[in-house]
Amino acid sequence: MIRKKSVKRWLQASVATAILMAVTQAYSETSVLAEPNGYAETIQGYTENPEDHVTLEPGFGYYNYFMRPLAEQLYLHSTVTAFLPTRLPDSAWQYYGYKSRFTSDGYEILGYRTPELQAVKDTLPVPAAQADSAKELQAPNVLFRLKAGQAGSAKLQIPSTASLLLNKDGWDYYVEGAAKGQSSQGRSNPQANPLYQMLSGLAKSGAPVAGSKGTVLITGQGTSNVTYAASWTVDNSTFYSFVLTGTAQSDFTSMLTSFRPVINLLDYASVILLPVDKQLNLQIGRDHMFMPYENQFIRLAHKPVVYNGSVFLPLRDIVHVIGGEIQYVSNEGAVYLSQNGWHNELKLNLKTGEVDRSGKKIATLPTQVEAGTTLVPLRFMTEQFGLPIDYNAALKQITVHDRHWAGNYRLLQTSDQADYPVSVLSVGGPSFTYSNSRYSRDGSWNGWNYVQHKPPVGYNSFKYNVADISIALLPGDNELVLQDLQTKQVIMNVPIKADLSPNQIPFRYSGIPYYDGLKTELKLQSSDGIAWPAGYAETNESGYVTIQGKLDGLSFDSLRLSYHVDKVDSKTVTVPVKDGAFSYRFKPAKGPGTYYITLYNPPNSLPKTDMAAIVTFVIVVKS
């Protein structure tokens, strides 16, 4: 059963107080987000009490409008743990609208298309005491109906005329009516049914809603006459169901697999780092683009056009929407542009079409300038910004995909442990590096251990996991730095003050099996005569630290030593070993900083590897 902790004091105080949500590069820790139609929410920054921090699934729409207010109300007031989708069926160039209400045993939501942007207050659930349970929620252009409650009110009922097409991972997949197939072969052989391949793909990665048992029912055929329905449970007590009518198969599978529980993710991990998808829908000749995850239309500086068979998009609009910057420099006849702030900065020469990065030419492309608006071909967005783009030539529709990271944390700001434990809920891999900025300001050096666990119910373990991270701290101020593994962009910085003494910082042995029989004794003594009791020493720029040691168990005649400080990895130096003893005077060559020293085996001393770390320790050089 899904855990659901009691709502915190600050949430109880006022329903209007927003839940702490996505913290990304594009947003400050404390800001006011103005909503259309007079609705405003204050995004609470990091409060003094970490126990107050609440983070819901960022896919519920924390940037603008979408389902965020509805998710908050369900978190606060639903009698059952709620589930909501993070993707919806195509709105056919209209806004999404919602009607919702609480029921005696759960809640109901109706999603529909509307030409007018709905007031946020009209999306929020009507209290059960005011809802007329005898009447269905009504609206024109219905997209879906979603219910949660006990089996009698929410579980999908399968007609006796339906046929079981597939059973896998606790889910049954039924077809009924025309969807069963007209031929005798289709009726006797489920795999001959055209829907079998679609349902097999849906079940390929396990249960469509992770950690649940459920049922899918497809009736009718085609698009306008087909109905998709599904229901599931995670505890055999509360059931969830939704019905989709007149949509494509891809809309159904996309929506079903996107359901996530409305829970405080910080009850499952102390750091949340999850991807947030952004999608831009454009069409040739249309002067607005639609952002479905934000439920927002944006007027374009210029309509997308076709030149010589290639689609061109307005550059400024796309750059702004993906969080980048763009600036025209008239005396150069060029524009400078970027993504996610000033990350991945490029220069585009409007006359020659030359694209430069860091002064180096990386591409040439055709450009068009119309009414002061620079238009670039689709491939520019893919090749230079890495944005996946789909183009439907028949409908003349362009879909641009982008992804950002959303995060929040619940961590103690002071630690008395040299190895600080952190749990991180994120996508698998991991997709991030974790480091202490005391060792490296840009996070280029990583000192962490990684053990992964299953994510909360509703999060597929093939994609998500909870990782236990152990970060090495040093006395005084530290900073946990989380970086994107691919782009190296810093996503989050968490300040941590370590209430530690030097004797609590250990010599850190590698634990490599080659050294199972090796015993070492190490001592550090600085030039001022201080004998440091553990794996930490201090000196000044003009001083030094003597490293003394004894080795027993392996007959090495030398060792290799190297250090890392900030962005610098030194060359190795040879340290002679005589009768198992060695001594080396370390003088800082790069000025003040934190030097992470590593001792390695001598060359050609171990099978199948040249360098294998034996032990590491820290020397802090002060100015």
Predicted confidence band of residue 407 (pLDDT cuts 50, 70, 90): confident
Output the pLDDT for position 475: 94
* pLDDT surpasses 80 at 63: no
CATH class of 276-403: alpha beta
Alpha carbon dihedral 155, 156, 161, 162, in 10-degree steps, equals -120
* pLDDT surpasses 80 at 170: yes
| Rounded-to-integer distance, Cα 165 and Cα 369, Å | 55
- Judged by average pLDDT, the poorest of 108-117, 130-139, 244-253, 501-510 is 130-139
| Rounded-to-integer distance, Cα 475 and Cα 416, Å | 9
Which residues contact residue 370 at a Cβ distance below 8 angstroms, ignoring those fewer than 6 apart?
A: 302, 305
Output the pLDDT for position 377: 92
Which tokens go with 7? 């709502």
Options 2.60.40, 2.60.120, 1.10.3470, 3.40.190; CATH of 411-500: 2.60.40
- More confident site: 54 or 509: 509
Residue 188 φ/ψ, nearest 5 degrees:
-90, -25
- More confident site: 188 or 310: 310
Output the pLDDT for position 51: 62
DSSP 418: S
Which residues contact residue 111 at a Cβ distance below 8 angstroms, ignoring those fewer than 6 apart?
A: 88, 96, 97, 98, 142, 143, 144, 145, 146
Output the pLDDT for position 225: 80
Which residues contact residue 402 at a Cβ distance below 8 angstroms, ignoring those fewer than 6 apart?
A: 277, 278, 279, 280, 321, 322, 387
3-state secondary structure at position 271: strand
For range 261-281, the mean pLDDT: 91
| Rounded-to-integer distance, Cα 444 and Cα 447, Å | 10
Given a contact cutoff of 8 angstroms between Cβ atoms, the answer to whether 126 and 73 are in contact is no
Mean pLDDT, the chain, integer: 84
| Rounded-to-integer distance, Cα 270 and Cα 268, Å | 7
The count of other CB atoms within 10 Å of the CB of residue 46 is 18
What stretch(es) of the chain map to CATH 3.30.457.10? 276-403
| Rounded-to-integer distance, Cα 268 and Cα 61, Å | 21
For residue 313, the one-letter residue type is L
Given a contact cutoff of 8 angstroms between Cβ atoms, the answer to whether 523 and 617 are in contact is no
Output the pLDDT for position 84: 96
Residue 161 φ/ψ, nearest 5 degrees:
-85, -5
Predicted confidence band of residue 566 (pLDDT cuts 50, 70, 90): confident
Which tokens go with 441? 């300001």
* pLDDT surpasses 50 at 2: no
Nearest to 161 by CA among 177, 149, 146, 140: 177
For residue 392, the one-letter residue type is N
For residue range 521-554, what is the model confidence (pLDDT) as tens digits? 999 999 999 999 999 999 999 999 999 999 999 8
pTM for this predicted structure: 0.84
**Full 3-state SS string of 141-205:** CEEEEEEEECHHHHCCCCCCCCEEEEEECCEEEEEEHHHHCCCHHHHHCHHHCHHHHHHHHHHCC
For residue range 110-168, what is the model confidence (pLDDT) as tens digits? 999 999 999 888 999 998 877 655 567 887 899 999 999 999 888 999 999 999 999 99
Which tokens go with 313? 């998009």
Sign of the Cα pseudo-torsion (599, 602, 606, 607, in order)? positive
For range 12-36, the mean pLDDT: 29
Gyration radius (Cα) of the chain, Å: 29
The count of other CB atoms within 10 Å of the CB of residue 187 is 13
Output the pLDDT for position 26: 28
Given a contact cutoff of 8 angstroms between Cβ atoms, the answer to whether 65 and 96 are in contact is no
Which tokens go with 288? 């607005």
Output the pLDDT for position 344: 74
Classified by CATH at the fold level, domain 503-622 comes out as Immunoglobulin-like (2.60.40)
| Rounded-to-integer distance, Cα 473 and Cα 487, Å | 25
What stretch(es) of the chain map to CATH 2.60.40.10? 503-622
For range 469-479, the mean pLDDT: 90
* pLDDT surpasses 50 at 10: no
Give the rounded percent of residues in the chain with a pLDDT score beyond 90.
Answer: 53
Q: How many CA atoms lie within 13 A of 26 on its CB side?
A: 18
Output the pLDDT for position 349: 92
* pLDDT surpasses 60 at 462: yes
| Rounded-to-integer distance, Cα 185 and Cα 392, Å | 34
Output the pLDDT for position 449: 63
3-state secondary structure at position 515: helix
For residue range 187-215, what is the model confidence (pLDDT) as tens digits? 567 788 888 888 998 888 889 999 999 99
Predicted confidence band of residue 511 (pLDDT cuts 50, 70, 90): confident
Helix axes 249-256, 194-203, angle to 10 degrees: 20
* Alpha-carbon distances of 485 from 387, 415, 424, 429, 446, rounded to whole Å: 17, 26, 15, 9, 11
